[in-house]
Chain A
């Protein structure tokens, strides 16, 4: 294990009923997240990539309890003391009190009561994928940025105003813009407002859901530099969801690749992106558009329909579209195992050892099945 873990997600599952018609007849069940395990270390950035609709946003929302998981566990080991959480950490009989392999006490996020959850929110923040829908249209941007600071009693008066100006400046916006309403901004400017709001509470963990997708490469580089800086100086940890693999590789040392609700490959970004093991990761990499109009590339086209999470294929979920699928792939679900170089991969064609057989140094107690994050 690298850094001490800040968050440990085990076997997380989220289902949504698929309804039809005004009476809401249930016609199916979408297994949006189907047994995901992840570790995010203190001050670490974990990239989460994968096909659109594979469950990335839902995974993140479930971790922060913005949607109800049907199963699994999300453990948080605070990096710094917070008097509002001390009661849970020091009280073994509290239902949300947990301990990790090394005896550190932590919090089972999914077992917190609503009031306790509010106290925890400050530490776990999210920048939503859709900035338009997540900013109150009737508040000025200044008020939007000030609100969380005021609610959590972190700042007021002149200091608050300065703090807001500072936040705007950090994301490359002019302080004068504080008096404007969200609709008066461009898409990329709104996205940066979302980032500023999430940073305002100085969280220790931040989910960034496509945070730079609306930004040109230059502003993108500025924001990534800001995030890298916060990570280095304040030990901020990220779950970074993005479709732009080059951007992911810039910020994240570790990366997990998802397909249809599950993790199919995870490990150091430098390895996964240069020498992918899973056929889906290979297809993904081959499809990255290259900024060179003269270059013709060989793309691995994925044949067939994108899969349905309401009716996932048998065996390996990827088999109907996998260019190297074999007969057993149709019936046998490949387990997520450890490949020779330590990466986790779920594919029959890759040599790998099952997880959780031999006890690993310092690893969590429930590393089995489903999927698991970076070592």
Chain B
């Protein structure tokens, strides 16, 4: 896979747990993956399976009562979990940019969107005020915000959902990150603007070697942008493969179910088959394979936890029956 490329990010056995009233919630539980310079890794999986918590863990922004209880996060070979907070702050918004899933969680309601972009430019790229302002307008333009000059002075609540999302992308990209954590970056965008944003990300990775951890529910977006995919279920990676392999030969029963529930614009009458049941809350994950009580081919062996095994070059699956 890596043609002499350096591993930019190596997540090893990451475990992030929440201490809730109902007990320990192992929201992320032993997640591992590598990301090379210029690569795009798609992170997919059912709602609540731990995608956002994984991304927040990388930035050490896990909200309380959550804690990273195990594993390593190596960014350019340094374990982020050992860095002093001071250095972490320099990385956030600088070398590591993040597009948050919900704009409200990230955009400051009392600052204009333009000044929030300019702030990144001043802090992380040390541009003087006037230059930062000019460049910020350019950043807004690059992500397709109409009238960037005029919109510079707008507050988040006056923007449409998709404009907020684009403003957030502008903020994340302003620091010229070498790693972008993009949590559902295009959900609020129509498909034409989504295509523009995907083009922009593709260009940036080609021109600057930016790597992207792309969290998305949209398998179409994964197909367009990702080089490889990790499928998460209930806090664990259940399948990992190059994108073409995963789409051609999904192996884990959960992944297979995911593909079956895809809607098809060409065939709106298609019977849709959601995976029965829902992800249990993390305090109630079953022992053994966590997909056990929803899996159509579960057997007795599944009471034991399946390990990730390579079933063909680069294609790893955690299932006893594959």
Contacts and interface: CB of A to CB of B under 8 A. Distances in A.
Pair from one complex? yes
Interface of A: 16, 18-21, 27-28, 49-53, 57-58, 129-133, 172-174, 176-177, 179-180, 183-190, 192, 209-210, 213-222, 224-225, 243-247, 249-250, 269-270, 273-274, 283-285, 287-295, 299, 301-302, 305-311
Contacts of A186: 47-48, 51-53
B191 A289 contact: yes
Interface of B: 18, 20-22, 44-48, 51-53, 63, 101-105, 141, 144-147, 150, 153-154, 158-166, 183-184, 187-195, 198, 217-224, 243-244, 247-248, 257-259, 261-266, 268, 272-275, 278, 280-281, 283-284
Nearest to A128: B161
Nearest to A295: B223
Given A53-B146, A129-B161, A130-B104, A291 B223 contact: yes
Given A291-B222, A293-B223, A130 B102 contact: yes
Given A243-B189, A308-B147, 12 more contacts: A131-B102, A172-B278, A186-B53, A190-B102, A210-B188, A213-B184, A214-B47, A216-B45, A220-B263, A222-B274, A288-B191, A295-B223
A114 B160 CA distance: 26
Contact of B105 (A132, A221, A249, A292): A132
B220 A289 contact: yes
Top 6 A-B pairs ranked by shortest CB distance?
Answer: A52-B162, A188-B47, A289-B220, A221-B274, A246-B263, A213-B187
A53 B160 contact: yes
Contacts of B103: 130, 132
A115 B67 CA distance: 47
A117 to B, nearest CB: 22
B163 A246 contact: no
B226 to A, nearest CB: 8
Nearest to A213: B187
B202 to A, nearest CB: 12
A184 B20 contact: yes
A176 B281 contact: yes
B275 A218 contact: yes
A284 B195 CA distance: 10
6 contacts: A215-B47, A216-B45, A217-B258, A220-B261, A291-B219, A293-B244
A273 B267 CA distance: 11
Given A221-B261, A221-B274, A246-B264, A187 B102 contact: yes
Contacts, number: 215
Given A210-B161, A218-B261, A306-B146, A284 B102 contact: no
Contacts of A132: 102-105
A20 B281 CA distance: 47
Contacts of A250: 263, 268, 272
B278 A219 contact: yes
B101 A214 contact: yes
Nearest to B46: A216
Contacts of A174: 278, 280-281, 284
Given A189-B47, A189-B48, A210-B161, A247 B217 contact: no
Nearest to B162: A52
B244 A52 contact: no
B294 to A, nearest CB: 10
Nearest to A283: B192
Contacts of B191: 243, 245, 284, 287-289
Contacts of B144: 305-306
B47 A221 contact: no
A308 B158 CA distance: 14
Given A176-B281, A289-B218, A221 B188 contact: no
A187 B184 contact: yes
A166 B322 CA distance: 37
B21 to A, nearest CB: 7
